[in-house]
Chain A
Amino acid sequence: MYSNDRILTPMIIKMNKFGKVLISRPAGREAWLAYQSTLEECGNEDFIEVDFEGVEVLTPSWADEFLTPLFGSFKNRVGLKNTTNPSVIESLKILNLDR
C-alpha cells in the first residue's frame, strides 16, 4: 500500500522555486547541486515531475546544467509539465529533452 502511494504521488520539482528567469550556466549548476539533498529522498522507482509553471524565461544553458543531469540520473522516470512557455519549448527542443 505504501509503495503504491509513492508511485501515484511523484516528486514534483517546481522550477519557479529557482526563479522566474533561469538563464545562466552557473545558476543552473548551483540549482542542481543545491537540489541533491532533496533528490536523495527519491526512491529507486519513484517518478519525478518537473513543473515549469511560473517560469518566464529558460535558456538551454541553465537547463543543460539542471535538466540534463536530472534526465541522466532518473531517465524515463522524469516527466515534464506546463511546458507551454516558448523559451521552455525551444530550450527543451535543442537539448533533445522534449519528450
Chain B
Amino acid sequence: MLYSCIGMDDKLLAIGKTAKLLGVSIDTLRRWDKKGKFSSARIGSAGNRYYRKSDIDLFLGDSFAMARDWAGNKIPYEPDQKYYCQTRDVFQARLEHFQTELLVENKNTFPSLISAISGEIGNNSFDHNIGNWPDILGVYFLYSLTEKKVVLADRGLGILATLKKVRRNLDSHKEALRVAFTETISGRGLESRGNGLKFVRGVVMRNPIKLFFQTGDAVLTLQQNEENFDIEISEKYIRGCIAMIEF
C-alpha cells in the first residue's frame, strides 16, 4: 500500500505501537504484511511500515473475522502464536489457563460448562484430523472474557469429509452438520461413540449460551431453549470448522 493512497484524515501508527495494540510481535506484523493478511503503508526512503488507526480498530473489533479469515483463506498461513495451538498439548494448556481465568471472573456462572464445550470442539478438531491435516496443523483458539466469547477454528477436513468415511451417502455439509449434532456417530472407524457435538448442543440448549458453528457452507446457530434445528447456507466457505461460543 502506498502512502499516497491513504486519506489525510487517517492517523498512522508505527509498527511497534501497532504491535502493542494488537498484542502481537513486530515480526508477526511483518509476516502478515508480506502475506497480505494485514497490510501496512510503506513510508519514506527506508520504507518503514505504518498502519492506519481505522484498520487497527477494525482488526481489534472483530476477532471472529480474524479467525474466519484464517480458516477460510485459500492461502494457508500460521496464525499468530497467541491464538495458535499446533498440538493438543498446547490446546490443553491454554484451555486450563482459560478455565482458571473464567473461574476468577465468573464465580456465579458456569465456567466448567464453557470450558467443557470449548474442549470438546477443540479436541474434535484434533481427533478427526490427526495425521490428515490438509495444510496447517492444529486449532485457532481465541477467547475474550470482556466480550464473553470463545472462537475456535481449524483448517482440517471438515465434518462432511470426516463422516463420509463411515456414512458414504452423506452428500452435503448441511446434512453432515445435522448428523454430527443430532446422532451418535464417529468418523473414527474403530470408535463406537461420537457424543461430543451432541453434548455441546445439550449444554447450549440448557444454559444461557449462544453457539455459531460452520463447516463447509453450512452454518448452525443454537441458543438456550431453542428446539429448532435450522442450518443455513453461507456464501463464505470454510473447509474445516469454525465455532463461536458466547456466554
Q: Which A residues have a C-beta under 8 Å from some C-beta of B?
A: 20-21, 23-27, 56-61, 64, 68, 85-88, 90-91, 93-95
Contact = CB atoms under 8 A, between A and B. Distances in A.
Query: B92, B99, B115, B199 — which one has the most chain A CB atoms within 10 A of its CB?
Result: B199
A-B pairs with lowest CB-CB distance, top 3? A23-B119, A87-B116, A87-B112
Given A23-B116, A24-B88, A95-B195, A90 B99 contact: no
B112 A57 contact: yes
B24 interface: no
Interface in B152-201: 193, 195-196, 198-199
Nearest to A63: B195
A88 B119 CA distance: 14
Given A21-B92, A87-B113, A94-B198, A59 B119 contact: yes
B64 to A, nearest CB: 23
B103 A56 contact: yes
Interface in B87-120: 88, 92, 95-96, 99, 103, 110-113, 115-116, 119-120
Nearest to A58: B116
For the residues of B in contact with A, the DSSP-based class is helix
B123 A60 contact: no
Contacts of A95: 195
Contacts of B119: 21, 23-24, 57, 59, 61
Contact of A61 (B92, B99, B123): B123
A57 B123 contact: no
Given A90-B199, A90-B202, A95-B195, A25 B103 contact: no
A58 B120 CA distance: 10
B203 interface: yes
B227 to A, nearest CB: 18
A24 B126 contact: yes
A25 B99 contact: no
Contacts of A94: 195, 198-199, 202
B225 to A, nearest CB: 16
B69 interface: no
B135 interface: no
Given A26-B88, A94-B199, A61 B112 contact: no
Query: B120, B126, B127 — which one has the most chain A CB atoms within 10 A of its CB?
Result: B120
B120 A60 contact: yes
Contact of A27 (B92, B103, B110): B92
Contacts of A57: 95, 99, 112, 115-116, 119
A79 B113 CA distance: 23
Contact of B115 (A27, A68, A87): A87
Given A23-B92, A23-B120, A56 B199 contact: no
A64 B95 CA distance: 20
A64 B184 CA distance: 13
B193 A64 contact: yes
B99 A56 contact: yes
A61 B115 contact: no
A45 to B, nearest CB: 29
Contacts of A90: 113, 116, 199, 202-203
Contacts of B116: 23, 57-59, 87, 90-91
